[in-house]
């Protein structure tokens, strides 16, 4: 490796380190801004469960430290979610100088769509899926049972669901990138539709709690987003050598 190449490689590493530090700093800034409202944020996230609990039931904390750490753990994840646009901006600023102009024009909308779709998946989970799932779970079971969910267990459940739906809503972006890179085509994906239907339910089985209702509520939107991705992918084809 020549001295010029080595110095260029080190410069890229330094830039990558600086952008990672900026991304982490953005998460810290958002966390410090939200830390005071940690209990309110947890109450907002727990509202779909609290609304479905019987009148004589409440949430409990089985760990003595849970009332303190659970809200702050949630606030840290919320800070990460809110800082995603800035984090992706740092990533884009790092890779953009190495892209062609037509690649920048194609990837910029995809980057923006990935953020909106991720937030859309979380919103869909909170406003649509959680009330249905929690309403079902709290309505079944023996009558002599007293339902008292643990705050830490519910937080882990909610974060897993948010992540699963946020990730699943990225399917159109993934399809567009695959078609744009030439790794596959829309025609090939249409021919594999039966396998993709089965795969969607398999993926939902791993990403959601082990019940059919949760898996179906994730698999069906995944399949609809797959069809949306096929439509949008028609505008993203592999660039030819002449265009490059």
pLDDT digits (tens, 9 = 90+) for 148-162: 889 999 999 999 999
pLDDT beyond 90 at 236:
no
Give the pLDDT of residue 154. 93
CA–CA gap between residue 205 and residue 211 (Å, rounded): 8
Give the pLDDT of residue 25. 95
Nearest partner of 60 among 149, 153, 126, judged by Cα: 149
State the greatest distance between any 2 C-alpha atoms of the chain, in Å, as a whole number: 76
Reported as a pLDDT band with limits 50, 70 and 90, residue 243 is very low
The mean pLDDT of 40-64, rounded to a whole number, is 88
CA–CA gap between residue 32 and residue 134 (Å, rounded): 31
CA–CA gap between residue 131 and residue 47 (Å, rounded): 9
Give the pLDDT of residue 28. 95
pTM of the model: 0.85
The mean pLDDT of 33-55, rounded to a whole number, is 92
Give the chain's radius of gyration (CA, Å).
22
Angle between helices 130-139 and 151-168 (to 10 degrees): 140
- State the DSSP code for 134: H
Taking a C-beta distance cutoff of 8 angstroms, is the pair 83, 26 a contact? Answer: yes
Cβ-based neighbours of 24, under 8 Å, separated by 6 or more? none
Considering 2-16, 121-135, 221-235, the range whose residues carry the highest mean pLDDT is 121-135
The 10s digit of each residue's pLDDT in 170-222 is 999 888 888 877 788 888 888 888 999 999 988 888 877 777 888 888 899 99
Reported as a pLDDT band with limits 50, 70 and 90, residue 4 is low
Give the pLDDT of residue 242. 40
In this structure, the dihedral spanned by the alpha carbons of residues 5, 7, 12 and 15, taken in order and rounded to 10 degrees, is: -170
Reported as a pLDDT band with limits 50, 70 and 90, residue 8 is low
- Token pair of 13, please? 């590493």
The 10s digit of each residue's pLDDT in 95-145 is 877 777 777 777 788 888 889 999 999 999 999 999 988 888 877 766 666
E strand or H helix that includes residue 98? none
CA–CA gap between residue 122 and residue 81 (Å, rounded): 10
pLDDT beyond 90 at 237:
no
- Token pair of 127, please? 């406003």
48: how many CB neighbours lie within 10 A of its CB? 21
């Amino acid at each position: 490796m020549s001295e010029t190449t080595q110095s260029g490689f080190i410069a890229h590493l330094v830039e990558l380190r600086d952008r990672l530090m900026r991304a982490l700093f953005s998460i810290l800034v958002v966390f410090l801004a939200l830390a005071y409202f940690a209990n309110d944020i947890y109450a907002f996230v727990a509202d779909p469960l609290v609304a479905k609990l019987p009148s004589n039931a409440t949430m409990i904390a089985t760990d003595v430290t849970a009332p303190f750490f659970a809200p702050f753990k949630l606030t840290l994840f919320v800070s990460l979610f809110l800082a995603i646009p800035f984090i992706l901006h740092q990533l884009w600023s790092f890779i953009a100088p190495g892209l062609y102009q037509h690649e920048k024009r194609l990837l910029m909308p995809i980057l923006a769509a990935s953020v909106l779709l991720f937030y859309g998946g979380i919103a869909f989970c909170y406003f649509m899926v959680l009330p249905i799932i929690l309403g079902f779970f709290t309505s079944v079971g023996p009558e002599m049972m007293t339902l008292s969910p643990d705050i830490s267990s519910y937080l882990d459940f909610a974060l897993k669901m948010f992540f699963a739906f946020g990730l699943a809503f990225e399917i159109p972006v993934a399809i567009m990138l695959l078609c744009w890179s030439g790794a596959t085509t829309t025609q090939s994906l249409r021919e594999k539709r039966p396998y993709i239907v089965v795969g969607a339910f398999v993926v939902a089985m791993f990403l959601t709690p082990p019940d059919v209702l949760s898996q179906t509520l994730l698999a069906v939107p995944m399949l609809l987003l797959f069809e949306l991705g096929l439509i949008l992918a028609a505008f993203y084809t592999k660039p030819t050598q002449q265009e490059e």
